[in-house]
Amino acid sequence: MTKLADLPRAETDSLGTVQIPAGAAWGTQTQRAIENFPITGVAINHYPEVVVALAQVKAACARTNAELGGLPPKKAQVISKVCDEIIAGQHHEHFAVDLMQGGAGTSTNMNANEVIANIALAHMGRSFGDYVALHPNDDVNCSQSTNDVYPTAIRLATLAKTRPLVAAMTGLVAAFRSKAEELNDVIKVGRTQLQDAVPMSLGDEFRGFATTIAEDIDRIVELAKLLTEVNLGGTAIGTRINTPKGYSERAVAHLSAISGQDLSPASDLIEASSDLGAFVMFSSALKRVAIKLSKISNDLRLLSSGPRAGIGEIILPAVQAGSSIMPGKVNPVIPEVVNQICFQAIGNDLVVTVAAEAGQLQLNAMEPVIFYKIMETMTTLTNGMDILTERCVIGIEADRTRCAELLNGSLVLATTLVPLMGYEAATKLAKYAQAEGLTLRDAGAAQGVPNSLFDEIA
């Protein structure tokens, strides 16, 4: 027998009646958004950081409204209680709107408003949809607009996502540095433009990888600070309409305490409501990390190429079979997947750039795709660096025999002869060795160069 609780419920808004699935804590605007935007299949709860950030914003606003007389204390308390539950990880399944949506984030904001209202109603002993007792717009969204809630929440979510990104970068740097110490004594051929250049240590090569990533940790941390300036309290376009005096400053102070982030109200709320320059800068820093990481992955693939017909100076951990037809083949799959992650990040930065440019007048309606692409980039870069560290870099070994073979068979030591015999003489010797297929030392013997000269550079 079907129970009443198992049946869909009907809710009515200005556009008509909507059927809400049984047990769903959302309301009409969320349901319409679910039906209107089946775009990516990625709901906002795919990124718990944004669900938590929305609850943090709503809790800060409820407390501020209670202090300034915008909400009765009992309503503010039950709203805050539900927000605390969401922050603790409860009720996230009800945040079901697709990340990609029209409306400048209105569907996301209303998803939060409706879920918080309905869960609060349940705490009050009332049924979902009994909005006379507590209303999504009038109460949960009191003194707010999507146009200040959504930008504030996505900034908070991005800041939260920065922590694991920086941790992944730090771990990768540590792995490269450790590997550099391990391989300090391995002398090999250094190359420029894919041509033999000068001798170097394999340890120095890996130390360079570490420095390349390490210097961007500070850049990411610095640029993340741009996201700590928020427009909460500006409401629709930054004019503070429908907010009591002092609301913005007090709400941001509450939000700082709740989130643990050192936030500040934007000095110009109108500008802050439409300008997304902070996201452009931050996305650009992510792209910079991706470019560097991809270059390193290219190098790891080249250095490990072979195992017998390539460079083959390093051996990557074998993590899976490389072919369905070629026996024994092992591919550099971890650097390969990191390359692909980086290509995606570079493309996502272009999306952020054009979306930020697409703002018009007092609002940028393209914020959802900006947030979506930044979160996607941060997630995949974080996961990619963790995997690169754990399943590749830590287990890399040097093929010491191959490094010595290539070094001794190359002409790179000719450069170190320049201070001893001059550029022209060293060039002549190198060309002779190349033409005759000799080592540099053997060519020197044939040309009458003292063997002691080679002992000085060995």
Q: Are 425 and 385 in contact (CB under 8 A)?
A: no
Can you tell me the distance from the alpha carbon of 140 to that of 26, in angstroms, rounded to the nearest whole number?
13
The strand pairing partners of 229, in sequence order, are 264
The strand pairing partners of 98, in sequence order, are 43
Can you tell me the distance from the alpha carbon of 354 to that of 358, in angstroms, rounded to the nearest whole number?
6
Tell me the C-alpha to C-alpha distance, in Å, between residue 139 and each of 33, 113, 117, 132, 449. Answer: 21, 9, 8, 10, 91
Name the percent of the chain in helix, strand, coil, to the closest 5: 60, 10, 30
Neighbour count for residue 380 (Cβ, 10 Å): 19
> What's the half-sphere exposure (Cβ side, CA atoms, 13 Å) at 457?
22
CA angle, 280 as apex, 277 and 282 as ends, to 5°? 110
Largest CA-CA distance found in the chain, in angstroms, rounded: 103
Quick one: CA dihedral 170, 171, 177, 181, positive or negative? positive
Radius of gyration for the alpha carbons in the chain, expressed in angstroms and rounded: 30
Question: Helix, strand, or coil here: 192?
Answer: strand
* Phi, psi (rounded to 5 degrees) for 264: -145, 145
CA angle, 152 as apex, 20 and 231 as ends, to 5°? 125
Tokens (6 digits) for 73: 């204390």
Q: Are 356 and 348 in contact (CB under 8 A)?
A: no
- Catalytic center residues: 323
Which residue has 């969401």 as its token pair? 86
Nearest by Cα to 195 from 414, 455, 443: 414
Amino acid identity at 296: I
Question: Helix, strand, or coil here: 277?
Answer: helix
Neighbour count for residue 269 (Cβ, 10 Å): 20
Q: Are 20 and 28 in contact (CB under 8 A)?
A: yes
Which residue has 């609060």 as its token pair? 120
Quick one: CA dihedral 119, 123, 125, 130, positive or negative? negative
For 237-255, the DSSP string reads TSS-TT--TTHHHHHHHHH
